[in-house]
Structures are given as C-alpha cells and as structure tokens.
Structure 1
Amino acid sequence: AVYHGAALGTGARVAREAEVQPGVRIWPGRWVAPGALATRNLVWSGGGLPFAEDGSLEGRIGVDWTVEELLRYAGAAAAALPPGEVVVGADPGGTAPLIRELLVGGLRLLGRPVADLGSVLPGVTAWAVGHRRAAGGLQILRDGPVVRVLPLGPGGCPFGGERLRKLEQAWRDQGAALPPGEPGPVTPWPGATQAYLASLRAELLAEPGQRRQPAVELTTTPDRLPLLEEWAGALGFRLLRPGWDAGDREAGDPRAGEAGGPVAVAGKARHLDAGRGQGGGPAPVRAGIGALHPGWWLAGPTGEPLPEEVLQSLELLLACRYLPAGEPVPIPAAAPVALEAVCTGWGRRWRRVEPGEAPAEEPLRHLSRLLDHLALSGCGLAELLAGLPPVRLARATVALPWESRPRLLRALAEAFGEGAQPIAGGLRLTAPDGCTLTVLPVPHQPLCRIYAEAADRRRAEEEMGRLRQILGGLGQQVQEA
C-alpha cells in the first residue's frame, strides 16, 4: 500500500504487503521489501539513514550500498553496544558469507573481539550472544541477492530505545573512529549450530521414540536445507519435502528466480491441504521460515498462514510449557491483552517488555517446541489451536508529530479517565464495554501504532476508527494550543 502523499522515484518498487506512509519518498531504484513499513525517506545518500526502524540494514552490496558504507554501519553498530565481544553469523550462500567476513574484519579493526560463527541457522546468532554473554551481535539474513544485517544487543535482543538512538547518532558521526592499537582477536566457532541444537534438544520433553507424528513440511531458502536437515536429524523430527520460501516473492519481481524457486502468485501455503495424513493420523505440520526476517509462519486448518495474533498466542502457550518454572514469560508491549490469559491458564507469571527487551526471534525453537508438544499430547494442530483464547485485533499506524507527542498522550489519558493505564512504551485504554486499545508511539519516529482488541472484529474496527478520530481531534487541539 502506498498512502496519499507518498512519492516513488523512477524504478522504485514496493512489494506486496509493504506500506509506504504518507509523506515518505522512495528514491529511484530503491526496493521496499515484503511486509516492510517505510516510515521515512529511503534515500541512502546525502545524510539519509540507510537502516530500518529496528536498526537493520537491508539491500544489495554494490547496488544499494558500498563496502565503505557497510563498514561504516559495522562501526555504528559497535558504537551502540557496550564493551566486549561481538558475535557474527550469517545465512549460507550468496553474498552473505562475504558480508560476514567484511563485518568481522571491520569490527576487528575497531579493536573488538569477535566470535565468528560462520554459516548458521536463523536464530543461532541471537542465542549465541546470550550463551557467550557477549556485548551483542550481527546476524546476516539472505534472500537471493538481497541481504539484511540485523544488529543484536546484550542477551540477543534486537535494538530498541536508547540503543537505536546511539546507532543513529554513530551513523551520523561517520561510524566509530578507529582506535590506535592492535586489531581485536577473532574466535571461530564452527560448532555453533551443534551447540544450539543441543540446547534445543535439552529443552524438549518427549523421547525421540515418541515423535512419530506429526512430521513437518518446511519452506525456506534452498541454501538452508542442509542445516535444516541437520536440525531435524538431531532432534528426531521427520522433515518432509523441504522447499524454498517462494511466498516471500512477488509475481513479476525480476529477482524472484535468483533464489532457485518459482514465484508463488497465490501467496504462502494456499495450496496446502490441512486434512488428515496418511493412515488417518495427524496431517504434517506445514511451516516456513522467513528469508530476510527471522520469523516463521504456520499453516492453520484451512491451509492459510495463521494470523500474527494467533501465532503469538501459540508461541506464548509453548513458552509457558517450556520456560523454566518461576521464570516470568515475556509478552511484547503491543501483544493483545487476551494473551495474558494464556499465561494465567498455565499458572505462569508474565511481564510486558518493550522493544529492545524482548528476545530475538528463534523460529526453530518455536517449531521444535510445537512438534514436541504435539508428540506428547497426541493431538493435531487443529485441536491445539482450538484451545487458544480468541483474539480479534485491528491495527493501524498514524502520524504523531514529535512536538505534540507528550501533550497528546496526556490528553488521550484524560479523555479515557480511569480506563487509561500507562504501559511499557505507551498507553492502554479500556472502553466501557471491555474493548481494549493500545497506543504505542514509535521510538524516534513521528508515528504511533494503535491496536484495538474486542469480542469481534467488527467491534474492534469500530473502536479503531473512533480512536483515530479522537487522536485527530486531540492533535488539532494540541497544535492550536
């Protein structure tokens, strides 16, 4: 979607499910990836910020950015991290290994000790940062010629808040200055994937002999298949017909064929049959691991990918089952209120976490927990999903000028009175009929994300429209004042 007031230069392309917000300018030849939210000008020259709102850098080396800009980004990311080791890992294939070597070399020149993981599965780098108690990390994801460099803070958490501010400031200051002295040491860790798989295996509850059903059918990029086969073999799962993540490609995208697979015009998983498997047993679990974003999707009973809020509920249920007893379950600040009932039902404590505090996405950990849980319970995925609390959510992103943000939020809280509750990073508002509204200003951007949660989707959409009207009216009052 390209909103009114946005401008696209010659040759600029916006993928399906991507959004270009009002007033944003996309320079000629630039690419807005699937699912991305363009909230600021995509220039990548003349002082513009080349990275996304989570601090990641995405593009093609030699086309969208130069080697010098990549090294400058490594310096800026290092400047945003505390002292200590930086972990670097990358997808296999394409330019990802080359970029990993460049980043490792650049960090060493800055005097940073580096742990080089080599080619690893998505999520391994984030796990390794916490496992090694490193200062942070850089995870390199690949989809054809396009590469995304994702910065990670302590504990493997994605950048957010103060760390994003430091990253932006360091970029504007031309990265980190090279200190005098010897280059930092590099520690190769070729066994990182095996160590990660051992951590997954130790977490699971079912014995290998119990994992007869269900099998899993995964779609991902072709270069990851050997690593995924290693994952399935190490944990005792059956991997069926592994393929590639063609659903992330848009029909007509000239880069589509470079990933080695066809273009899925109908979208992810629509061709899948979610009926019973052979012999009347549970059908295989059908899932996919994103190429440029380290998330996952899961096909529901209809064969369509599950909505984000349902997938969040499922992830939370699995966290309640597998996290150590006594450890609070983290719930993202923007996640629906209904998810809290999942934790309560399991007798688990929970806590809301801001962006930058939540652990990085580990798709294989979620998938491993799911398969293990299904093996133990003996039920199919449909039965498991039926037991989740219903979540009906509407969401939108609206403009929120910098100068009016504090007064606007105060006015909004006053308008809802006792129904307003401060939460991490924003406000939660409760209407008289129980409809819940979450207002989360985007850090360091003149935008605000709003979520409406109600008993049915129509009611959620109505409340979303009402909140947008309130925000518009209050914004005008604040500007006039």
Structure 2
Amino acid sequence: HLRACTISRGTRVDRHAHVLEGAVVGALSQVGEEAQISPGVRVWPSKNIESGATLNINLIWGNSAQRNLFVQRGVQGLANIDITPEFAVKLGAAYGSTLKPGVQVAVSRDQRSISRMVSRSLIAGLMSVGINIQNLEATAIPLARMVLPTLAVAGGIHVRVHPDRPDYILIEIFDPQGINISKGKEKKIEGAYFKEDLRRAQIQEIGSVSYPSQVIETYSKGFAQHLNLPAIANSGSKIVIDYAYAVSGAVLPQLLTKFDCDAVVLNASLNQVSLSTPEREELLTQLGQVVEALKANFGVQVSANGEQLILMDESGMPVRGEMLTALMVNLMLTANPRSTVVVPVHASSAVEQIARRHDGKVIRTKANPTALMEASQTNPNVVLGGSEEMGFIFPQLHPGFDAMFCIAKLVEMLTIQERTLGEIRTELPRVSHRSYTMRCPWTVKGSLMRQLVENHPTDNLELIDGVKIIDTQSDSWVLILPDAGDPLVHIYANSNDRHWTDENLRKYRTYVQEFVEQEQGVESNKAEALL
C-alpha cells in the first residue's frame, strides 16, 4: 500500500508493505513484507527495511531497519543480497563483542561456495574483535556439534544453504556444548549489532586461525560407542542413501562400511545450487525404485547438511511427516521401555499413544530447535528428541539433530527387533493430523493469541507455544501457532476422528481469517476511501 509517498528508481516494495503519506524511499532500497514506513520518514538510498519492521525515524547512516536478526533457526536471508560479506563481517564482530577477548570460536560450513564466502567474512569479523578461530571448514553439522565440547571453545558458528529455501543462507550460532544459543544470548548479539557496540582489537590482539584435525575420527569414535556393533555387523543389511547432490565425500558410507553394513550411495556429488522441491521429489521416486530393485532393507534421502531425512520402506513407499516421527518414537520406546521422548508442541498425539504402550513419558516443547535440544539434554532418561520437520536428537551422542546416527540406529533396531519398516508402519496408531498455514500480520498476532485465550476455558488450554485448545472428551486438539520469522500463523488439528479434524481445521481457519479482517478493517476502509 503506497499512499502519497515517493518511491525512487530501483526500489523494491514487497507485498503488504505500507509506505505512508509524505514518506520518501531512496533509490535501490528494499521494503520487506508487512513492513511499515511512517508518515514523513526519509529513507536514504540503498537501505533495507526488513519484513515486519516499523520505521518511525529517518534512516540515514545505518544500512537497514530490521525487526530482528535471529529467527527460529538462526540468522537467515537471501544469499548475497541479505546475507552479504559486509553483513557477515559485522555479525561476526557483534557476536565476538559479546565474548571475552582471546577466547576461541569454532566455525564450520557446508560445501557450497556461497557458504565458504560467508564463513570467511564471519571469521574476519570475529578476528577483528580479538577472537581466535578453530576453522572446521566444510563439516557436516552433526560432526561440528559433537566436536565442539572437545575443542574448549566459547561457541560455534555453522553456515549453510537453508534446508527449505535454496536461495537463502542460514547462520546458526552454538553454545560450547553444541546447542543453539538461547534467546537471551541472541538479544545480546542483536544489541551489539544494531547499536554498533563493536569492540576493536589492537594489532597485537587480532585473532588467529587454526585448523583442528581428527574431527571425523572423534565423531566416528562416539558413533561406534553408542551402537550395538555386533547387531549391525551381523545384520547383512543393505540400505540405499540418496544425498540429493548436496554433498561430496560423504562420511556416513565410510562409517557403515566399517560396521559391515552394505550402503549403496546415490547422487553423492555437489551442486552449487540446491534442488527445488519438485526435483527432490523426483529423486525420492527414483530412490524408491532403487530400493525395490535392489531388495534393500530401506532407503533414505538425507538433507539439511546431515540433519534431516526421509525414509523409504522395503517396498519403495516413503515414510515421512508425522508418520516418520511416530515410527522413530515406536522403535526407540520398543527398544527402551519406560524411557522419555521429547517432541515439539505440534507433533501428532500418536506419540502419546505409543508411549502409553511402553510405559514411556512424552515431553512437549516450544516448536524451535533450541527448546528441543535443551529439553533432550536436561531431562533424565531421554532416548529420542525432535520430529521429522527438524530432525532427530540422540542425546547420548550429542545435543543436535543427526540423520547419520539415526540411519545407523535404524539398522540396529530393525535387526534386533526382526521387523521391517513396512511392518512397523502397520502398527502405528491411526491419528488424523492436519495443518494449514495462513497470513497473519505481525501487528495482529498478539491480539489473536489473547482473543483465543479469553474465548476458551482455562482448563481446555495448553500454552507451551501458541494456543492449544484441547477437547478432553475426544482426546483431540487444535493448535494455533504464530510463525517466529514470517507474518504467518500455523493451524494444526489432531484427532482419532478424521471428521473432527477436518471440521475443526475449517472452523479455526475461518476464525483466524475473520479476526484478521476485523483487526485490519479500519485500515482497509481508509485505503478504499483514498482509492
């Protein structure tokens, strides 16, 4: 919505942004989705107004007006547009300024050239404030998390192409144990970044760079310690692993070969550009055909630099989504009765039904990686954490998501339990779990959550993350979950009764839509009057 304002050449204004009366936006600037520039504000050329940000003062000296640096999984943005070398240098300096001078930070990345560029810029920023670097170079993220505690570092940074957005870069910052940093730490870094409260080291205090060795060996040792090696060695298992052109020189096949497991590897070469969703689906179909043709025990497509996976059973049928979460919980609790699993708040209720079969316990957390990692580490007797959406955590190995160890665990448990993935699939509870994502402006999210809480009895509410409305009679629920990084809200409906799920998903979609329209009604009427 542009109202009596001036937009200069080469400026991009994204959808649902508002530039109000008398505002002037200089050339080659960008105004993100749902951003608002107030009346009379001047924006100098080549500035960036982030999605959801509100700008009330002239933007002259800074480069951007941002709502936050960190979103749900770290710092992310368009490669070489939002996440530039200049941005990365400043981010590295801001992070380093929150640490003591002279400490060490580990830096790792995926194998793509864009990630190398960004990681080198981060390293330059860290060194400029007196931080020493342990450069792990191209290292899968599970390996990086695992070796962090052995390096005596103050934290770590991992740079990769975003697993869900092939044109985005994702920068994650870890604590010394390999867990994503807390919200409090994120705010400290954001404070240093936005206030430009950056330390400057004297020439003799500039950080140094070293290159640790034995990273793969350290991971390999821990990997082997937490597996039943005789079971794997005697399994005669054959598995097919598809790397979807995202890695070269993969570590997992080398590890599995050591344990006498036959691993057939597909597409283990590197494309600098990530595959689109249709291309990944095409490879998944190909994977199913190969699994069936080779009579393999199962297949797996690995993504997210070694964190996430999709399974393919012995008949070439995919196991993904909530079914994958339920299958992993079932396998782990069958092997470890009376244990605990940690899942995000929106996971299917099949998890609780499986836990009851095995006298297990379920802990639900906020729908973000840090909450899952912390709960998996701090609660006793946890054998599994995570979900198909983010990956699976095996806290006895390291605190992060690890598709590689998950594959080895699958071989071990299927061998010991003498079952196939197809057989386990038939044992899973039949739960109807559906979701829908819709737009919800930043300014409306808070009032929507308050309205939901006020309109439902307290006894029927669960407020771990978002608002979960529970129907105790039918053991069903609806969850309205605001998105942490975009002007969106996610609606989840879960029940043993498909009709209940469909009806309530439809009901709350209408509820949210009407509420958003009502909240924006006055503004919409004004816009129509102007037109």
Q: TM-score, normalised by structure 1?
A: 0.74
Contact 1:395 1:449 in 2 (8 A): yes
Q: Matches of 1:321 and 1:200 in 2, distance apart? A: 21
Q: Which has the larger radius of gyration?
A: 2
Contact 1:318 1:366 in 2 (8 A): no
Distance 2:486 2:229 in 1: 46
2:226 maps to which residue? 203
Q: 2:322 aligns with which of 287, 309, 316?
A: 309
The 5-angstrom pairing of residues 273-352 of structure 1 reads 273=288, 283-291=296-304, 294-300=307-313, 303=316, 305-320=318-333, 328-352=340-364
Partner of 1:150: 172
Amino acid aligned to 2:510: Q
1:386 aligns with 2:426: yes
1:412 is aligned to 2:452: yes
Cα deviations across residues 90-125 of structure 1 (Å, max 9, x unaligned)?
223535445434433432332334433233223212
Partners of 2:350 and 2:428 within 8 A in 1: no
Q: Deviations over 1:159-185 (max 9, x none)?
A: 564444444444423474335572345
Query: Which residue, out of 87, 90, 97, partners 2:109?
Result: 90
SS in 1 for 2:251: helix
How has the CA–CA distance of structure 1 residues 338 and 193 changed in structure 2, closer, same or farther, with 3 Å as cutoff?
Answer: same
2 CA distance for matches of 1:362 and 1:477? 44
Q: Counterpart of 1:271? A: 286
- Distance of 1:145 and 1:412 partners within structure 2: 36
**Length, aligned pairs only:** 444
- Checking the alignment, whether the CA contact within 8 Å between 2:106 and 2:134 is kept in structure 1 is yes
Cα distance, 1:271–1:480 mapped onto 2, change above 3 Å: closer
Tell whether 2:194 aligns with 1:172: yes
Among 399, 412, 425, the alignment partner of 2:465 is 425
1:309-351: per-residue Cα shift (whole Å, max 9, x none)? Answer: 122223334554678x987432122222321333333333332
> 1:28-427 residue pairs with structure 2 within 5 A?
40=51, 46-48=64-66, 53-61=72-80, 65-78=83-96, 85-92=104-111, 94-129=113-148, 134-142=153-161, 147-153=169-175, 155-158=177-180, 161-174=183-196, 176-179=198-201, 182-184=205-207, 186-207=209-230, 208-221=232-245, 223-244=247-268, 264=279, 267-273=282-288, 283-291=296-304, 294-300=307-313, 303=316, 305-320=318-333, 328-354=340-366, 355=368, 356-359=370-373, 360-400=400-440, 405=445, 408-417=448-457, 420-427=460-467
Distance 1:299 1:86 in 2: 38
Matched with 1:6 is none
User: Is the 1:148–1:292 Cα contact (8 Å) retained in structure 2?
Assistant: no
Matched, 1:464 2:497: no
2:493 partner SS:
strand
Q: Which structure 1 residue ranges, 5 or more long, are not aligned?
A: 1-8, 13-19, 33-38, 247-255
The verdict on how the C-alpha distance between 1:469 and 1:99 changes in structure 2, with shifts beyond 3 A counting, is closer
Offset at 1:382? 1.0
Identify the residue that residue 252 of structure 1 maps to in structure 2. none
1:186, 1:454 → 2: CA distance? Answer: 54
CA displacement 1:49-107 (0-9 Å, x = unmatched): 6775422335444x654322111122344467799643222223535445434433432
- 1:4 corresponding residue in structure 2: none
Q: Higher relative contact order at CA 8 Å, sep ≥6: structure 1 or structure 2?
A: 1
Does the 8 Å contact 1:203/1:322 carry over to 2?
A: no
Give the alignment's Cα RMSD to 1 decimal: 4.5
User: For residue 222 of structure 2, what is the amino acid of its counterpart?
Assistant: S
Letter of the 1:358 partner, please give it: L
Q: 1:221 to 1:273 in 2, by over 3 A?
A: closer
The letter of the residue matching 1:40 is: S
Deviation at 1:466, TM superposition (A): 0.8
Whole-angstrom CA distance in 2 between matches of 1:322 and 1:191: 32
| Alpha-carbon contact 1:317-1:342 (below 8 Å) kept | yes
Take 1:326 and 1:472, find their aligned partners in 2: how far apart are those partners?
A: 43
Q: Which amino acid aligns with 1:384?
A: I
Corresponding position of 1:16: none
Identity %: 17
**Where does structure 2 lack aligned partners over 5 or more consecutive residues?**
1-8, 20-27, 34-49, 54-61, 374-399, 523-531
Shift in CA distance, 223/106, structure 1 to aligned 2, threshold 3 Å: same
Amino acid across the alignment from 2:422: A
